[in-house]
Amino acid sequence: MNKPTLDEKKISRVVIAGGGTAGWIAAAALSKKLGELLDITLVESAEIGTIGVGEATIPPMRVFHRLLGIDEREFMRATRATFKLGIQFENWGQQGDRYIHAFGKNGRESWLAEFHHFWLEGRVRGIDSEIGDYCLELQAARQGKFATSTQSSINYAYHLDAGLYAQFLRKFSEQYGARRIEGNISGVEQCVESGNITGLRLADGRLVEGDLFVDCTGFRGLLIEQTLHTGYEDWSHWLPCDSAVALQTEGDNAFLPYTRSIAGESGWQWRIPLQHRTGNGHVFCSQHLSDDEACSQLLGGLDGKPLTDPRVIRFRTGRRRKVWNKNCIALGLASGFVEPLESTSIHLVIAGITRLMQCFPYDGISPSTAHRFNRESREELEKIRDFIVLHYHLTRRNDTSFWRYCASMEVPETLRERMELFRDSAYAHQAEGELFRVDSWVQVMVGQGLVPRAHHPLPKLMSTDELSRFLAGLRENIQRAVSPLPSHDAFVRGYCQAEGCLD
């Protein structure tokens, strides 16, 4: 009888290379849901820092937390989190523009036509309103209000301290049997015959053996790239920003329930309010702006006193050609990067580990499973990429060479088709397995000035009085819902105030 290869053996030992947010999300999910079947080890070194600026999230994170049974208040206190209803984009369409991409739905759609077709018909008939007037979350964000309860349908996410989140998940994971090994990985052992990874060699000589390895080593991709030479597909021609500078400032107790994204001359700045501080950063293109210029622009636009020195981060947008190669699965920055404009970084880690749990190769790794995993991961990231590229390309700015490049560049065919469909007929859609909904596409395209030439004829069947009453009723219902809400900072104080914060 032939000796079984690793691919034919049961998988019981999972080794996660690297900690940080990605590593501990993986450990938390695997230990809680599959811990009785698996031995889970995470290897990280305190000497190796993490990027640690992924502090804004999107609503699917709440589903992940419910899956793991994480208490929201406990999590928010531990990570000094605040609530997030969306992102305010400033100066993206043109200088002086401002709109919010919120997490809620726009109005009320019908079976034949989405709500924005009714809104567009109202504009034609002189009913003056903004698409954001019909979104509860957007109006609450604009007014700085927030509240939630078990009966509430408001859709939200979080601003959080990524470092504290990793600590929170480490404690959670260790309660369910995950084991942490402190050590610097100095080498990766492979099977001579198959090329599969068999163990991680630490600087002190220890060998951590496993059956399946999860690469959470960030941009360097120690396992997926440096060891397995998987290859990388570069997207910098669509997403030319390749650097970021980040720092923290003193917080403002009257913090807003949304992230700010402020477009500059060669990139954009983020502003993320937490209970104890504000996260600030400047994403920029080094071909158009030097590090010193980027730091100067960031420091010149701060609202609070700096708590840290500026830290420059380099990156290259794109994806690994495979995120599952042999017996290694890459998560987080090791798998690819599309920059944090729509706060998708933590979501992609969660999506990746959820996908792995759904098809976990307990009885052995099959090529078909890895192939499907890679295809779904690729399609997911490409759809997110298109949405990010939309923000850059759909601009009327021509004040700098950076924005002129973005406006004139060739975009992916999938994105070009979406923009043409909306421009020609106001048609917007959410593809199968796609993260961003119709409401998101509409808010960004309208917010950045893409005006449809035509829309669905269904609203034309309504009289002007009927359409006016319909639209006014929706606006009034939203204002009635938003009006009694407390301010965001007041709700956070009563719901999840962290020790030593907001005093």
Provide the annotated active-site residues: 84
Please enumerate in sequence order all residues whose Cβ is within 8 A of that of 150, keeping only pairs 6 or more positions apart, or say none: none
3-class DSSP state for residue 426?
coil
The sign of the dihedral angle between the CA atoms of 326, 332, 334, 339 is: positive
Using CA atoms, how far residue 65 sits from 32, 39, 60, 116, 158, in Å, is 11, 22, 9, 32, 12
For residue 293, give the amino acid letter.
E
Structure tokens of 333?
A: 């920055």
- Is-contact 317 236, C-beta < 8 A? yes
Which segments of 69-158 does DSSP mark as H helices, in order? 72-79, 115-124, 136-142
Euclidean distance between CA atoms 236 and 239, whole angstroms: 5
Residue with tokens 């007014």: 143
289: Cα separation from own chain's centroid: 25
The sign of the dihedral angle between the CA atoms of 291, 296, 298, 304 is: positive
Strand pairing category for 13-17 and 39-44: parallel
Residue with tokens 């309504």: 462
142, burial (CB in 10 Å: exposed 0-12, middle 13-18, buried 19+): buried
196, burial (CB in 10 Å: exposed 0-12, middle 13-18, buried 19+): buried
Beta strands in 109-225 (DSSP E): 157-159, 179-182, 185-190, 197-202, 207-209, 212-215
Q: Half-sphere exposure of residue 177, counting CA atoms within 13 Å on the CB side?
A: 14
Measure the CA angle with vertex 148, ends 143 and 151; round to 5°.
130
Euclidean distance between CA atoms 173 and 114, whole angstroms: 43
Euclidean distance between CA atoms 246 and 277, whole angstroms: 13
Structure tokens of 266?
A: 């060669």
The order of strands in the sheet holding 232-234 is 232-234, 318-320, 336-337
Element (H, E) at 390: helix 367-393
Measure the CA angle with vertex 292, ends 389 and 335; round to 5°.
40
In the chain, what is the straight-line distance between the N-terminal and C-terminal CA atoms, in Å? 71
Structure tokens of 41?
A: 């080890």
